[in-house]
Amino acid sequence: MTTSPPRDDIPTRIPDRTTAIGTLLAVLAIATIALNLRPGATSVGPLMESVVGAFGQGAFASGLLTALPCLAFGVLGLLAVPISRRIGLTGALVASFVLVAIALLLRPASGVFSVFVALSVLALLGPALGNVLVPAWIKLHGGARTVGLMTLYSVTLAIGGSAAAALAVPLAGTGADGWQDSLRFWGIFAVVPVLVWVVVLTRTGHDFPPAPPRGELGGSLLRSPTAIALMVTFSMQSLNAYTQFGMLPQILTDAGVTPARAGMLVAVIAGWGLVGGLVMPSVIAKVRGLRWIVSGFGVLTTLGYIGLLLAPGVSPLLWACVLGIAGFVFPTAIALLPARTRNPLVTARLSGMAQPYGYILAALGPIVAGALLSATGSTDAVLWFLAGTGLVMAVSGYRAALPRMVDDEIAS
């Protein structure tokens, strides 16, 4: 995947990128946008029955809405780098979140299901671009604050997604159309990052990173084993996360766990993500032998599923914690994007490949798992499939965490 140099007719006016934005503003910018990268997707699931019923739709519509975030993050994420090359990293984030706020506010009032889906896609544009551009923005503007901002990004990303799912039903209340008010709330909430990032835009202007002194770092990212390994690692993690959210409650119920406890166990897995977001950016920056740690997350993924398969009665909470710790691979993969690149241009390109294509590959996970469940009628086949993806993650994670720079690999 290659890109051409930034257009010469667009000025870049950041004399000192690490001081143009104060620490407080940088923290507010990252926190507000990260909190809004997941609610547009995760706020729908708990209300799915009400949403689908309101439009007179059935199971196919539910499946479509479930798969939509992963597909949108993948396909729309491919637009991130081209758009940012025209209007800058900050400009792209501001413009996309203006559309997000509008789409989230209008979506509940749509009277036709196809319009609801279209507005849902538009509402996912900002998160899709943000997945790719926020790590590059931190790399460009973070300076000595990079590790701290990446930690903040990972943690608030998890909080935003979890909070939207947890608050969806309470915000809906008891009215028949309460789901509309619940979904509309996140449109109002999305206005906050727009206001903050407009202020940031006045400081940054067009802030796409300039070419390095010797010219643009060209070369296809497909020539970089590190870039490919990161993409595979990201895809395997996302595949597991989305399949867990959609199918793990059923798997646990089939194993004899009550539905209420199954939901709690899935929440435990998500809760571990907050811990991972706090600790992994610092671990990446300081710990040697990182490759064994990242590879270990893949092994833990496999062990968690095998535990549910062979010893589900031992302690479902134990296996949930194992899978939750294995989920540390997500903040690790996010933090490795800037850690395995030197130039912000390469960071943006790497993020623009690893995340969109990773999400596209990840979207196959729920499809394959559903097909296996339909064909066999047993969740065992799904667990064996997921256990296998953990081994793939172990191998790709080992390679991704090696101390190699993507810049060097694509230039050689």
Structure confidence by residue, pLDDT tens digits, 182-230: 999 999 999 999 999 999 999 988 887 555 444 455 678 888 999 999 9
What pLDDT sits at residue 14?
39
What pLDDT sits at residue 19?
54
Contact criterion met (CB below 8 Å) for 348 and 141: no
For residues 126 and 313, give the distance between their C-alpha atoms in angstroms, rounded to a whole number. Answer: 42
Please tell me the total number of residues recorded for the chain in this structure.
412
Exposure pattern of 52-64 as b/e (b: 16+ CB <10 Å)? bebbeeeeebbee
What is the mean pLDDT of the segment spanning 295-308? 94
What pLDDT sits at residue 238?
86
Residue 215 burial by Cβ neighbours in a 10 Å radius (0-12, 13-18, 19+):
exposed
Contact criterion met (CB below 8 Å) for 197 and 90: yes
Q: Percent of the chain at pLDDT above 90?
A: 33
What pLDDT sits at residue 210?
52
What pLDDT sits at residue 15?
41
Contact criterion met (CB below 8 Å) for 173 and 181: yes
Structure confidence by residue, pLDDT tens digits, 57-115: 876 777 677 778 888 888 888 888 889 888 999 999 999 999 999 999 999 988 899 99
Residue 104 burial by Cβ neighbours in a 10 Å radius (0-12, 13-18, 19+):
buried
Closest of 354, 352, 348, 383 to residue 369, by C-alpha: 383
Between 138 and 377, name the one with better pLDDT.
138
For residues 139 and 347, give the distance between their C-alpha atoms in angstroms, rounded to a whole number. Answer: 7
Q: Which two structure tokens, joined as six digits, stand for 228?
A: 């490919």
162-171, 284-293, 296-305, 393-402: the lowest-pLDDT one = 162-171
Between 29 and 5, name the one with better pLDDT.
29
What is the mean pLDDT of the segment spanning 29-45? 89
What is the mean pLDDT of the segment spanning 154-183? 83
What pLDDT sits at residue 170?
83
Continuous H helices in 107-224:
113-123, 125-141, 146-172, 178-189, 191-204
Q: What is the mean pLDDT of the chain?
A: 83
Between 343 and 60, name the one with better pLDDT.
343
What pLDDT sits at residue 305?
94
182 CB-near residues (< 8 Å, 6+ apart): 43, 47, 167, 168, 169, 171, 172
What pLDDT sits at residue 12?
40
